[in-house]
Amino acid sequence: MCNPSNGKCFCTTKGIKGDRCHLCEVENRYQGNPLKGTCYYTLLIDYQFTFSLSQEDDRYYTAINFVATPEEPNRDLDMFINASKNFNLNITWATSFTAGTQSGEEIPIISRSNIKEFKESFSNENFDFRNNPNITFFVYVSNFTWPIKIQIAFSQHSNFMDLVQFFVTFFSCFLSLLLVAAVVWKIKQSCWASRRREQLLREMQQMASRPFATINVALETEEEPPDLIGGNVKSVPKPIALEPCFGNKAAVLSIFVRLPRGAGGIPPPGQSGELSHHSRPFRL
């Protein structure tokens, strides 16, 4: 498409440039000869390429061409292409890229119209990849409208290698998760141990801060103990120690009680001695 006033042309095939559309964009991986044929974008095997023709400079493009050469002579070549809008697809092959750029050297394989997606597998036996090391496949995408997004890929995956890669990836992820779980568990155990040590330290500090004192108790062994049941009590027993609890609303009282004695000052059977220490809570 050219401007009649100044003669400047807008190339309709992506990858072709120049005022007369006579050059290929070699700097962008396009190769060929537009004067004798067209320009092709060189595709790498086992890679997916995405072409987004959405800029204002892409408005006049209605076609784009690709070329791919198999790398493995013993594997089939899988091809996949899809687009956001309908397009026409033509696929040919030749024994080499040089032959493909000349008219009549390419052999048609596939021709489709108004499609959005296409998949195909080219057998290495049918196309004899081993005896044709330079075999080249040409993909012509045409008759699309602007804007459009195209994805295309050629691959030669091995099923066995895919299975091995799957298991390697699976076990790598599994071992990574186990390692992360072990590290998290170790950190959790360390935190628990640290909290336990801090709790024990606080308990020891609290016990060490409790008040303490000594008291001497003098008892006269000849004096008869008061009759607590009969009411023969001269005075109310007084505690020898008083320890307030937290909040000062209650306290623990400690008292000594002289137990009854038998004849000769011997404690009754079942008693360990004459004195018994008792502690009981008491509300202040």
d(CA 240, CA 190): 45
Give pLDDT, residue 231.
55
pLDDT value of position 139: 96
Residue 218's pLDDT is what? 67
What's this model's pTM, rounded to 2 decimal places? 0.57
Q: What per-residue confidence (pLDDT) applies to 64?
A: 96
Report the distance separating Cα 149 and Cα 51, nearest Å.
6
Taking residue 12's Cβ as centre, other Cβ atoms within 10 Å add up to 13
| pLDDT score recorded for residue 273 | 58
At 137 the pLDDT is: 95
User: What CATH code is assigned to 16-155?
Assistant: 2.60.120
The string of DSSP letters for 54-88 reads -SGGGTT--EEEEEE--S-TTS-EEEEEEEEEEEE
Residues of the chain with pLDDT under 50: none
Every domain of the chain and the residues it spans = 16-155, 241-283
CA dist list (Å): 284 to 21, 212, 241, 251: 106, 20, 14, 7
Q: Supply the pLDDT for residue 149.
A: 96
Q: How high is the pLDDT of residue 18?
A: 87
- For 239-253, the pLDDT digits (tens) are 777 777 777 777 777
> Which pLDDT belongs to residue 257?
72
